[in-house]
Amino acid sequence: MIDRDLQSWYAQLHQPYVDAGILPPYALAGYRERSVFIRNSMHVPPPKDGVPNAIEAFFEVLIQEPHPAVRAILGHFTFVFIHPYPDGNGRIGRFLMNAMLASGGYPWTILHVGRRTEYMTALEEASTRGNIAPFTQFVAREMAVNWCKTNILWRSKISIDAKTCYQKCHF
């Protein structure tokens, strides 16, 4: 599903940015045409010529991973690591994560903007040091938040999923 719909989802999610003049229309046409650098990060995404092969490998890994929480967290991380688009990789990465979580029966998960620093720090740790544990733990905590209530609810299933993801994603 993701390999078939990724480009369409990206275009639909970012069309308002084109309409507002923030992105040029060609930005929705496909993968990036130049090198990109992530603000405040030591991670340098693969060169533009490596993006198609990296995305193909990304899809293959997702297909092979049976556990939906692992697939979602690993998928989000790998997608933003590749950074295939000129803009909006984080937005589409979070969307992909939620699509994969929902396909496994998990609720939609909000990565709250107030925790952006922790989110970016965890991604940086995974991208530059190969330590995905902080990112896995961050997402697991966010999965446990019940935004319909004022308190945070923890579910035992989330702890198991975080542990499973850490064991499978640790490299």
Catalytic residue among 67, 83, 112, 170: 83
Instruction: Give the pLDDT confidence score for residue 3 in this predicted structure.
Output: 78
Domains of the chain as residue ranges with CATH: 2-169 (1.10.3290.10)
The DSSP result for the chain, as a single string, is: -HHHHHHHHHHHHHHHHHHTTSS-GGGGSSS-SS----TT-S--PPPGGGHHHHHHHHHHHHHH---HHHHHHHHHHHHHHH--SSS-HHHHHHHHHHHHHHHTTPPP----GGGHHHHHHHHHHHHHH---HHHHHHHHHHHT--TTSSS----HHHHHHHHHHHHHH--
Of 166 and 118, which is predicted with more confidence?
118
pLDDT in tens, 19-52: 999 989 988 989 999 999 999 999 999 999 999 9
Q: Name the average pLDDT for the chain.
A: 86
Instruction: Give the pLDDT confidence score for residue 158 in this predicted structure.
Output: 44
pLDDT for 156 beyond 80: no
Residue 67 annotated among the catalytic residues of the structure: no
